[in-house]
Amino acid sequence: MIRAATVNDIPDIRAMIRELAAYEKAAEQARATEEQLRRALFGEHPAASVLIAEEDGTGEIAGFALWFPRFSTWTGTRGLHLEDLYVRPHARGSGHGKALLAALAAICRENGFERFEWMVLDWNEPAIGFYKSLGAELLDEWTGCRLTGAPLEELAAHAPAVTHRVP
């Protein structure tokens, strides 16, 4: 079963984020607290949404997908960005990942989103194979970029005076 997350799922979502980070060899980077997740997912201005995959017989949480809308200047339409997709090891191969992705594809269709995009680590062959089996196009010509810590602070220090509005 796939369902929208509730505030009661926060401890499980946080645990799965940490499990995913450990799998991706970056456990020390998964610092989000339950309170941060509560505000980000269920606060006044949610930053993202989460779908939960549950085992049909037991209701045990098997995985999650965290996503948010994005916008394409090229198409002039919104799209969906999948930030995290995770299925717990014991539940893999049972269709939970495909069900989560299918539910997200349905959200795209229902909302007129033209793009459904995500990133995958280049060494994660099981995930790459899974995504290719669904018809996903791997965008080899694009490279992700990130600023954090001191470089982010240094660049921000050079910002002109601008009125900021976070969508």
User: Does the annotation count 131 as an active-site position?
Assistant: yes
- Measured in degrees and rounded to the nearest 5, phi and psi for residue 125 equal -60, -40
| CA 82 – CA 66 distance, rounded (Å) | 6
Alpha-carbon dihedral sign for residues 118, 121, 122, 125: negative
Catalytic residue among 131, 134, 160, 166: 131
Which residues are marked as active site? 131
